[in-house]
Structure 1
């Protein structure tokens, strides 16, 4: 179960869920891409507590069910085995959809978009705003495609509006003013699905991103900065926010970021020093990953005590190229450079 990736249900309404603060906190950390094995580091909760909370979120309808365990594979009988020249190579096998509900969501969005374009868009903007305040689905979902910010403001005033509508707006609305209106609702702005589509929306203003992400965990900011589906302008802002947050984040969170990324994040943190507690936590670990050691050795701000600690690792003793890289570091101990 540690390899399972929990996926929030897009249509789930937070207002209808009976969640404890702890369960709400864990749900806020689920972005549909983080596997269970990383949740202990991200939340600080023990693994058994994470499993119990995930089971409760599934029972409440907030998460998709985990995939069933794979069935035992039986060797095919000779008469049903395809000839070698007809066998499908592994690289040609079709990939499974990331989310089984995503195709259904796309189909629904097509229906809502058609409804907006054919029946609602020809109406005057004032009339669409009135309908947005009063309508129910499917018209309410269709009006989430309206490009006029005033209509989106009216959608936000509708008592029937929920997360499914918020995610449609985050994904498709083409005006920063409308996105600001959406994020005026704290519950929507905190939703993982809304945030996922907001950062992929090229109209997301940098000021709004900074406001929403400045206080997020470093690992979440790193994911945005490295996501190829995010526009370059937003990724650039995410890197700036990550650097600013790194200077004030708790030492435990800094170490978590460095370790979970195998040190890849350090290129984005060039020139940023770390405090004594962060260095102490980094020195309290055994390092076996050559990639992590290499990235730490190339980190210009790596403190001297960390370089000295890495030089003592068994993985470094066995690989002369890693030892040489560490010995050439400007913060390497003088006696190590002479060896």
Structure 2
């Protein structure tokens, strides 16, 4: 098989295509990065059959033609998500870019790995298969079927609302990350979600975690267990993500405050700088330690928004207020100097000026 990387055609509405179950299943496994020669291991189809399915998908317009240039394995596009996840935090305020609310509300804890959603048309096929053929079976038959099912029935059973069926799906030797993501996204019983997270490989997957935090039935205790030690920036993103249920957002705010009081100074500085101080609104009354203050005072500040938000932060340490008053940005903008001078921790000479 070739090094061609099958990619969905963004100009085609998949819901209008006459896809069969095999074609829909293959589409559900495409992430835009996996090459054709690697797909047999991912789909379970032999190479010749898979090639025929891909050819049909191209002819129907579901996939972009395979004449495009194929990127090397280690392309910038593939490496970028890993860099985003593992790069060192930017602690220099002079280099800090504003973090738009749209980006801050991502809620994906900086994990931009291979977690593209299954196309809605394919999801609809799986759901329809469950509702029309499987849902009417007795529960014990669905459990027995789930233990040995193959796709597309295995993916369809991920829509089952009964935890016993979900547990059977998870015990199926053919179950993979795609099934785990379907369960995290669509299962609405806390018992089934607990069974999913009990599998460490699934609990650590970025796509599973992404869908779990958006699941309204995610238990608070389970969320705390999964997210207690995540980075402060990840907690903040959840607190502003409108796709996350309010209960989970509220717990994320509580965890954010707890982690801010005990977390590493570098993470505190990362949070303040990378959100331009927006996160400080959720940290009212939370003081910072000496190391955090020292790191903040070792920066040059060029963002008016960041200075304004620090000036509104009642717990801003005196040394940081004094440092900001010396910045060229503050000297050139009287309104910023006035805001800092009115801070309760401002130096006495600044208040008299």
Q: Is the 8 A contact 2:284 2:314 kept in 1?
A: yes
Three-state SS of the structure 1 residue aligned to 2:119 is helix
Give, in angstroms, the shift of residue 198 of structure 1: 0.8
Cα deviation per residue 1:257-288 (whole Å; 9 max; x = unaligned)? 11111100001011111100000000010000
Give the corresponding residue for 2:313.
299
Determine which structure has greater relative contact order: mean sequence separation of CA pairs < 8 Å that are 6+ residues apart, divided by chain length: 2
* 1:244 equivalent among 228, 234, 258: 258
CA distance in 1, matches of 2:311, 2:233: 21
CA distance in 1, matches of 2:351, 2:279: 27
CA distance in 2, matches of 1:38, 1:186: 19
Give the corresponding residue for 1:190.
204
* 1:269 equivalent among 279, 283, 286: 283
Give the corresponding residue for 2:296.
282
Q: Is the 8 A contact 2:90 2:270 kept in 1?
A: no
Give the corresponding residue for 2:24.
none
1:40 is aligned to 2:87 = yes
Normalising by structure 1, we get a TM-score of 0.72
Normalising by structure 2, we get a TM-score of 0.70
Three-state SS of the structure 2 residue aligned to 1:145 is coil
Cα deviation per residue 1:294-337 (whole Å; 9 max; x = unaligned)? 00111111100000000000110111111010011111111211
CA distance in 1, matches of 2:113, 2:219: 30
Query: In structure 2, do the counterparts of structure 1 residues 63 and 231 end up closer, same or farther at CA, with 3 Å as the change threshold?
Result: closer
Cα deviation per residue 1:205-254 (whole Å; 9 max; x = unaligned)? 11111110111111111111110111111111111111111111110011
| Runs (5+) with no aligned partner, structure 1 | 1-7, 18-22, 45-61, 65-98
Query: In structure 2, do the counterparts of structure 1 residues 186 and 11 end up closer, same or farther at CA, with 3 Å as the change threshold?
Result: farther
Cα deviation per residue 1:171-215 (whole Å; 9 max; x = unaligned)? 100111111111111111111111111111111111111110111
Give the corresponding residue for 1:315.
329
Moved over 6 A (4+): 10-13
CA distance in 1, matches of 2:250, 2:219: 12
* 2:223 equivalent among 209, 213, 222: 209
CA distance in 2, matches of 1:335, 1:327: 9
Three-state SS of the structure 1 residue aligned to 2:213 is helix
Query: In structure 2, do the counterparts of structure 1 residues 298 and 38 end up closer, same or farther at CA, with 3 Å as the change threshold?
Result: farther
Give the corresponding residue for 1:146.
160
| Runs (5+) with no aligned partner, structure 2 | 1-29, 43-73, 92-111
CA distance in 2, matches of 1:239, 1:273: 16
CA distance in 2, matches of 1:253, 1:168: 32
Give, in angstroms, the shift of residue 9 of structure 1: 4.1
Query: In structure 2, do the counterparts of structure 1 residues 178 and 198 end up closer, same or farther at CA, with 3 Å as the change threshold?
Result: same
Give the corresponding residue for 1:255.
269
Query: In structure 2, do the counterparts of structure 1 residues 108 and 184 end up closer, same or farther at CA, with 3 Å as the change threshold?
Result: same
Give the corresponding residue for 2:181.
167
Query: In structure 2, do the counterparts of structure 1 residues 42 and 127 end up closer, same or farther at CA, with 3 Å as the change threshold?
Result: farther
Three-state SS of the structure 1 residue aligned to 2:262 is coil
1:199 is aligned to 2:213 = yes
Q: Is the 8 A contact 1:288 1:315 kept in 2?
A: yes
